[in-house]
Amino acid sequence: MPSFREPLSAQAIRAALVNVPSIKEVVYLPSVGSTNDAARDRAAQGAPHITLVVTDDQTAGRGRLGRSWYMPPRAAIAMSILVWPDLDAAHSNRLTMLAGLAVAEGIEQVTGLAAKLKWPNDVVVNDQWTMDNEQFKKVGGILTESAIVGERVEYAVVGIGLNVNVDFVDQPELAATATSLMRLLGREVDRLSVLAAVIGRFAARFDWLSAGGALRAAWSARLVTLNRRVEARTAETVLTGIAEAVDDGGALLLRTDDGALHRLLAADVTLRA
Ligand code: BTN
């Protein structure tokens, strides 16, 4: 049986991406604090569009809302994609939409698992045997950090964390809400195949977006959050209501019980019964 716990390498990643010519540079770091920081440093040094930074051991991974991101060495994918997009700052959330789609499509391509998205940036898979009582658990997350100049995105770092072969045995609290491709399939999964599929989909979706293509329909179709009763915690308040729709900017349109429609750009959303 092959071991998928071997370290990656720049050479192996480049070989896996041979059919994705838009990836101009691959940076492999055996260990790093955060690939998002490493990609931002490369941007400051003029690294090209599209540069991919990958590590086997991320020691200070960040999630949204200042949370830390758990990653045991060589068991997961932690990578950041540096892009210099032609994008208004007001549309920077589109990169998170694009990355979410790419991760879900890449997972499906390699594993056949039905990957969904939980607004705004979680990649989730149903963890239950029966479909009538779905329990979605998180397999991946996206953290997009943009450098804004005037009203434009100068560059953006799209960070992707994906639980491929993480067992969570020492992490009972995380295991309540998170899972991995290995846990879902009952076997280890080749990280390089998943990485290549996700990056392939990212590059294709990026071309689509750059050519004026819309992401909302495909994104909405995967959102488990829509038409559900949710609780949304923003920095200012807690709102409960029906998640009616998302708009082209990636905002969530939440109808509260008093009939008001709220446009949320950032919030922590929990599905309610
Ligand atoms: C979230 O779910 O809150 C987002 C998690 C994003 C984690 C990835 S791992 C690679 C990249 N580097 C980081 O420090 N964070 C992102």
Segment 8-21, tens digit of pLDDT: 999 999 999 999 99
Specify the residue for token string 């990609």: 39
Question: How far is residue 51's CA from residue 148's CA, in Å, rounded to a whole number?
Answer: 18
Q: Which protein residue's CA is at the shortest distance from atom 16 of ligand 1? A: 159
164-193: pLDDT as tens digits: 999 999 999 999 999 999 999 999 999 999
Q: What is the pLDDT of residue 153?
A: 98
Rounded distance between C-alpha atoms, residue 247 and residue 239, angstroms = 18
Integer Cα distance of 3 and 108 in angstroms: 22
Q: pLDDT-based confidence at 1, cuts 50/70/90? A: very low
Ligand 1: centre distance to CA 132 (Å): 31
Percentage of residues in the chain having pLDDT higher than 90: 92
Token pair for 204: 């294709």
Protein residue with its CA nearest to atom 7 in ligand 1: 161
- Three-state DSSP at 259 gives coil
Q: Which atom of ligand 1 is nearest to the CA of 64?
A: 3
Q: What is the DSSP letter of 190?
A: -
Among residues 250, 210, 255, 203, the alpha carbon closest in space to that of 230 is found at 255
Q: What is the mean pLDDT of residues 147-169?
A: 97
Q: Find out whether 75 and 52 touch, Cβ atoms under 8 Å.
A: no
pLDDT of residue 129: 64
**Summary count for the chain: helices (H), strands (E):** 7, 12
Percent of the chain with pLDDT over 70: 97
In this model, does residue 130 exceed pLDDT 70? no
CA of 142 to the centre of ligand 1 (A): 6
**Which contiguous run of DSSP H or E holds residue 194?**
helix 191-210
Average pLDDT, the chain: 95
Is the confidence at residue 42, as pLDDT, over 60? yes
Answer for the pair 179, 137: CB distance below 8 angstroms, yes or no.
yes
**Residue 259 to residue 189: CA distance in whole angstroms:** 46
Confirm if 81 and 52 have CB atoms less than 8 A apart: yes
- In the predicted model, is pLDDT for residue 110 greater than 80? yes
